[in-house]
Structure 1
Amino acid sequence: MAFDGITIANITKELQDTLTGGRISKIAQPEKDELLLTIKSSAGQFRLCISASASLPLIYLTDVNKPSPMTAPNFCMLLRKHISNGRITGITQPGLERIIRFEIEHLDELGDLRQKELIVEIMGKHSNIIFCDENQKIIDSIKHVSAQMSSVREVLPGRDYFIPDTLEKEDPLSITEAHFSDHLRKKPLPLSKALYNSFTGISPVVAEEICTLSNLPSELSPKDLSEDLMHHLYTQFSIFLDPVREGRFSPVIYFDGPEPKEFSSLELSHFSNLEAKTFPTISQVLVTYYASKNQITRIRQKSADLRHVINTALERNRKKYDLQLRQLKDTEKRDKYRIYGELINTYGYGVEEGAKSMEAFNYYTNETIQIPLKDTLSAKENAQKYFDRYNKLKRTFEALNELTRETHQEILYLESIGNALDIARQEEDLTQLKEELAQTGYIRRRSGQKKVKITSKPFHYISSDGFHMYVGKNNLQNDELTFRFANGGDWWFHSKKYPGSHVIVKTEGKELPDRTFEEAARLAAHFSKASKSDKVEIDYVQKKEVKKPGGAKPGFVVYYTNYSLLIDSDISGIQEVR
């Protein structure tokens, strides 16, 4: 979710509560488009990070200090000259614009009190940090924008500062119902798109939420709304924005498993299917969200090569499997040739020389059938020809049966590696996957490369009844959990028919409650290839019933007696030990 006006309002309120009245003790510029201000106030010392990065503009309070360049950039030196030890007298947001103004008073070289403004614009690639005097003249900015770069507004020393035109968008906090209706009906767009195109600070996610609260399809045209429906929409629109007007925010991140999907300053009902985690401040939301996102992005980038290896091998094996199945289907007529040979030997004594077929009673089906014959061969030779065909197809069937089974197991193994890549959270998890692929011959070790030290550990959860549950992140961990960590009386869970993690529940000699069985099954469903299904069938059995065939690949097991249950994959209520 991009920074919208509501998030900026939340940050502004947080900064007002913590920084107003504080003095700027340090000013650093760790990156070319980033400032780090240290501010001392009556509430303590705070660090404010402001980034005007085109790819990820941010503003938030942090505990982390960043190293600065040996020589401070010019913009940093200018700020130190003017507002070092300056006092923050006000922090405001104009309307719901993605802009925060810091009003700062300081003493000039003559000891006179002066007013300055540091204006932070969080506007995607157009983000900037602009330093102005009391007359709204630009003293300097962290990014210079010339007329050649923008026909809308120059951001250069000496120019007047003004907020760029927002494409005739209205302030959602002050708009009347009549103006709301007229403005919305002018937009020949679907309802949700019309909302975020009509009002400042409203993002697509917020527009979708307003449609959900109003129980109106987001693709509906505003022109098709009756007066009553438009009144209802405006009422829900106003109610949703009331907390913003009153400064009441509920910072939250919505997670889909370990992955953060969205963050918001207000609760969003249309994400009720995701796990919601609330935070005391929006700064903590931003730090957590982007740290998690960056980690997941980094893991995906680092796993790209492994995915390519797996996907290439999968494609090759699936093509081979399809070909083998087609060839196997061709062997289904082998018994027909055997029966033809037997019937010719039984009834062929009366067949005339040069006959092209014969009629015989099939004593297997109690039916009369027509058997094709080669007219240049005798009955005995025709029978032998059919027996030869039968034996050839029989040998082909037996060989293909084994090859098909091996190819299918190879596909399941490769899919299990793909599932392990999907659930990997840390670089250590990828290290262990590389080791597994090296052991199974899918990737080569570099010459002289030693086996790496494995530090990745299984996921660890505690059931509502206090039982410890462990989930393998990959096949090596699955084997470790099942055959070296678990005791015979512990319980073992795995998704039926789908690749997935082994789940072990340590019983400590106690009987498991039904709730723990269900929670362990949910873990097995969640960490399987079928995790997106509404219901997943899970096999579970005591660990002593699980065996590993000799020579089998990592993670492959067999069991001949088990229980099964159907369960969803929602693990949001299960406590994870980190």
Structure 2
Amino acid sequence: MSLDGVVLKSICNELNQLILDGKIDKVYQPENDEVILNIRSKGSNIKLLMSASSNNPRVYVTDSSKSNPANPPMFCMLLRKHIQNGKIIDIEQISMERILKISIQSLNELGDLTTKELIIEIMGKHSNIVLVDKNSNKIIDSIKRVPLSLSSVRQVLPGLEYKLPPSQNKLCPTEINRNDFFNIINRDNKDFKVYKFLYNSFIGLSPLLAREICFISNIDVDKTINSLCDDEKEKLYLGFDKFYTDIKNNNYNPTIVKDSNNYEVISFSCVDLNQFGNLPKIHYDSISVVLEEFYLTRDKVDRIKQKSTDLRKSITTKLERALNKLSKQKQELIEAEKREKFKIYGDLLTANIYQIQKGQVEIDVQNFYSEDLETITIKLDPRLSGSDNAQKYYKKYNKLKSAYELISNQMIKTEEEINYLENILLSLENCIEVNELDEIREELVNEGYLKRSLNKNKKHIKKDTSEPYHFVSSDGYDIFVGKNNKQNDYLTLKFASKEDIWLHTKNIPGSHVIIKSQNKEVPENTIIEAAKLAAYYSKAKMSSNVPVDYTERKYVKKPNGAKPGMVIYDTNSTIYVTPSLDKISKIKKLK
């Protein structure tokens, strides 16, 4: 599912149609590794996204917007200086590599016309965006600087000559003929599977498209090169030639393939993908739309995971401490439960005080609390009198009695804290927007788990309030699912009416779920669907037969002083469901 050289060629073709001769109005850098150019071209405003993200490197035309930092990064300021108000005069792909070069003509400080090249290298963790002076071929700067300490093979630093990434000794598939193809097959590793031979031999070909060439050639992808007969080699060449003839002629058919539930994107390309059989496919007019569909949510989730790493680590550490604390408290409680024997010792010593002599280390007495009246041995402090020894055991009893009550109360608080921290970790998993992450961080500051940032120069920007998930049941009832504690409190305490149905996993951290009852009796099927959502968006997501409590909202209350998202309820029923993505994907989702 990578953005390979073939896909990049279709992107290059699309960009030539959309932004060639366009003027760069604005340059933004919303992320450390991402740049957006606002381009005025052919009477339209177009946003070109370029990302050197390690996980999701890409370049395409986008319709989505991102918030920008209050203070633009240095690379953004450099781009504004060199290419803002410039004209795009050329867009080309280097061979069939995943490298795109955009040439931009602009005036320098002296008013002279200069040409800069913005080079986007899509190479996984080595992806980069490099600004080069065309005349001198010197690097002006890059979004990721690569010094000698990071790479001894190729440095990317201001002032150095720009060099292409090291070649992998592959051939350009658009430049070979029939004889070249057969020469490569006959001299290549005979034990290679056919599709591996293809993507290891030719530039810009991914395993996905290598399999597609095998499919259209009617060749089994798992066959090895040495097992192919001459007819099969001929069919493979004809399929290969047909595939690349379409690419050379810019005949594309941007396609997305979804899973059998038509829910999740499992693959994409700029050509039709026939290897997936009867799985649902969607064809688009634009490769940029395909890439937006595929990458937008993935990139958001990936960046949120990166931004929440410190938060997740902090909460996990606090959770581990709370769990250790609870373990010790349970041990102390077991010790405190043995307190009754010390009261019995005190009573027996008092009853037999006339037998105790000072200096005695133990005494055998008859236990009149036992039905069998057995004899027990009680240890004594030889320095104390019989009365003082009895008082010592009474004091120990009273101390453990007080400790039992104290530890019991402390355990309740510790268990509440563990439940709260587990809910926070679940909320972090549910985050799909940066403002949702900010809400969790703000909540933790308010609850005293994090310190508030003291950055005086930071501008306070009013942030949009995040919104819960919104589903519609098969019976037409609206179902809302909270993603974090703030949303949970809002849904339960402000949004829901008294007659609405409230659901939550039983004694398991999870989201609050609300069914809008519409002043009617909610059908059983809607309750089952809502229960599946409650189980899916909980800690028991991967479990079976998950208990989910449900009741009318009027029976749910928030105790005074309770942490965000924490409520109590009664008059409830319990339903058992098994959550799965399969089942959830069948419930209509609005947002």
Q: TM-score, normalised by structure 1?
A: 0.65
- Report Cα offsets for 1:507-530 as digits up to 9, x if no partner: 112232343223212322232233
Q: Are positions 1:487 and 2:497 aligned together?
A: yes
SS at match of 2:467: coil
* 1:333 aligned counterpart, secondary structure: coil
The one of 204, 208, 214 aligned to 1:201: 204
Structure 1 residue 500 displacement after superposition: 1.7
Residue 492 of structure 1 deviates from its aligned partner by 1.1
Deviation at 1:568, TM superposition (A): 1.0
Q: Which residue of the partner structure matches residue 556 of structure 1? A: 566
Q: Secondary structure, in 3 states, of the residue corresponding to 2:569?
A: coil
1:319 aligns with 2:324: yes
CA distance in 2, matches of 1:178, 1:285: 36
Inter-partner Cα distance in structure 2 for 1:185 and 1:202: 20
Residue identity matched to 1:511: E
Query: Within 2, Cα distance between the matches of 1:373 and 1:130?
Result: 87
Moved more, 239-248 or 406-415: 239-248
Amino acid at match of 1:460: H
Q: How far off its partner does 1:287 sit?
A: 3.6
User: What is residue 521 of structure 1 aligned with on the other side?
Assistant: 531
Cα offsets for 1:215-257 (capped at 9, x unmatched): xxx9x9x99x9959xx99x999999998787644413689xxx
The aligned amino acid for 1:200 is I
424, 427, 430: which one pairs with 1:423? 430
Q: Distance in 2 between matches of 1:523 and 1:9?
A: 42
* Separation in structure 2 between the aligned mates of residue 408 and residue 52 of structure 1, nearest angstrom: 44
Q: Partner letter of residue 322 of structure 1?
A: S
Q: 1:446/1:6 Cα in 2 relative to 1: closer, same or farther (>3 Å)? A: closer
Q: Residue in 1 aligned with 2:474?
A: 464
2:333 to 328, 331, 336: 328
Give the 3 Å change call, closer, same or farther, for CA 325–120 of structure 1 in structure 2. same
Instruction: Confirm or deny: 8 A CA contact 2:198 2:210 kept in the other structure.
Output: yes
Measure, in 2, the Cα distance between the counterparts of 1:330 and 1:142: 75
After superposition, the Cα gap between the structure-2 partners of 1:426 and 1:260, relative to the gap in structure 1 and judged at 3 Å, is: farther
**1:374 to 1:357, Cα distance in 2 relative to 1, 3 A:** same
1:404 alignment partner in structure 2: 411
Tell me the equivalent position of 1:577. Answer: 590
In structure 2, the residue matched to 1:545 is 555
SS of the equivalent of 1:550 reads coil
Q: Kindly indicate whether residue 134 of structure 2 is the aligned counterpart of residue 166 of structure 1.
A: no
Q: Does the C-alpha gap of structure 1 residues 31 and 403 become closer, same or farther in structure 2, counting only changes over 3 Å?
A: closer
> Structure 1 residues 328, 9: CA separation in 2 closer, same or farther (over 3 Å shift)?
same
Following TM superposition, by how much is the alpha carbon of 1:541 offset from its aligned partner in structure 2, in angstroms?
Answer: 2.4
Alpha-carbon distance between aligned partners in 2 of 1:455 and 1:31, rounded to the nearest angstrom: 24
Q: Which stretch shows the higher mean deviation, 177-186 or 486-495?
A: 177-186
Residue 98 of structure 2 aligns with which residue? 98
Shift of residue 538, structure 1, vs aligned partner = 2.3
| 1:77-156 matched pairs, under 5 angstroms | 97-98=97-98, 122-124=121-123, 125=126
Shift of 1:425: 3.1
**How far does residue 490 in structure 1 lie from its aligned partner after superposition?**
1.5
Secondary structure, aligned partner of 1:373? strand
Task: Give the Cα separation in 2 of the matches to 1:554 and 1:574.
Answer: 28
Match of 2:60 in 1: 60
Give 1:214's aligned residue.
none
Shift of 1:411: 1.6
Q: Distance in 2 between matches of 1:99 and 1:306?
A: 36
Q: How does 1:319-398 map to 2 (within 5 A)?
A: 319-338=324-343, 356-357=363-364, 363=370, 371-374=376-379, 376=382, 386-398=393-405
Q: CA deviation at 1:501?
A: 1.4
Q: In structure 1, the residue corresponding to 2:568 is in which secondary structure? A: coil
Measure, in 2, the Cα distance between the counterparts of 1:339 and 1:7.
Answer: 84
Equivalent residue letter for 2:339: R
Give the match's secondary structure for 1:325: helix
User: Given the superposition, is the C-alpha separation of residues 430 and 47 from structure 1 closer, same or farther in structure 2, using an over 3 Å criterion?
Assistant: closer
1:498 is matched with 508
Tell me how far apart the structure 2 counterparts of residues 465 and 241 of structure 1 sit (CA, whole Å): 53
2:485 corresponds to which residue? 475
Match of 2:71 in 1: none
Specify the alignment match of 1:511 in structure 2: 521
Instruction: Report Cα offsets for 1:532-572 as digits up to 9, x if no partner.
Output: 44664322222233233333222222234421212214233
Deviations 1:357-385 (A, max 9, x none): 45768746x6x866332365898877665
Provide Cα deviations, 1:159-204, integer angstroms capped at 9, x if missing partner. 9x999743346859989799669745567xx999888555533447
Partner of 1:4: 4
> Is the Cα–Cα contact under 8 Å of residues 191 and 226 in structure 2 kept in the other structure?
no
Describe the superposition over 1:260-318 as per-residue Cα deviations: whole angstroms up to 9, x where unpaired.
9986557999999x999875532023345555455445545655565465345434433
Q: 1:381 to 1:69 in 2, by over 3 A?
A: closer
Q: Which residue identity is paired with 2:590?
A: V
- Partner amino acid, structure 1, of 2:325: K
**Shift in CA distance, 299/62, structure 1 to aligned 2, threshold 3 Å:** closer
Cα separation, 1, equivalents of 2:366 and 2:189? 83
Q: CA deviation at 1:338?
A: 4.9
Say which is worse superposed, 281-290 or 505-514, in terms of deviation.
281-290
CA contact (8 A) 2:212 2:273 kept: yes
Task: Check the 8 A contact 1:243/1:249 in 2, yes or no.
Answer: no
Q: Give the fraction of aligned pairs with identical amino acids, expressed as a percent.
A: 33
Amino acid at match of 1:201: G
Q: RMSD across aligned C-alpha pairs, in angstroms? A: 6.4
Aligned residues: 521
Residue 450 of structure 1 deviates from its aligned partner by 11
Bigger CA drift: 202-211 or 285-294?
A: 202-211
Counterpart of 2:108?
Answer: none
Rounded to whole Å, the distance in 1 between the matches of 2:331 and 2:447 is 28
Aligned twin of 2:105: none
TM-score for the superposition, normalised by structure 2: 0.63
**C-alpha separation between the residues in 1 aligned to 2:101 and 2:511?**
51
Distance in 1, Cα, partners of 2:335 & 2:236: 65
More off after superposition, 197-206 vs 310-319: 197-206
What SS does the corresponding residue of 2:559 show, helix, strand or coil?
coil
2:255 counterpart residue number: 250
Retained in 1: the 8 A contact 2:27–2:37? yes
**Cα deviation 1:391-418 (Å, max 9, x = unaligned):** 4323222211110111110121122223
Q: Give runs of aligned pairs for residues 193-272 of structure 1, distance below 5 A.
A: 197=200, 199-203=202-206, 227=227, 247-251=252-256, 265=270
User: 2:315 touches 2:425 (CA, 8 Å); kept in 1?
Assistant: yes
Pair 1:536–1:236, CA change in 2 (3 A): farther
Contact 1:340 1:371 in 2 (8 A): no
**1:465, distance to aligned residue in structure 2 (A):** 2.0
- Specify whether residues 388 and 520 from structure 1 end up closer, same or farther in structure 2 by C-alpha distance, changes over 3 A only: same
Helix, strand or coil for the counterpart of 1:538? Answer: strand
Displacement after TM superposition at 1:476 (Å): 3.3
CA distance in structure 1 between the partners assigned to 2:346 and 2:276 by the alignment: 68
Q: Residue 239 and residue 506 in structure 1: after superposition, are their counterparts in 2 closer, same or farther (change >3 A)?
A: farther
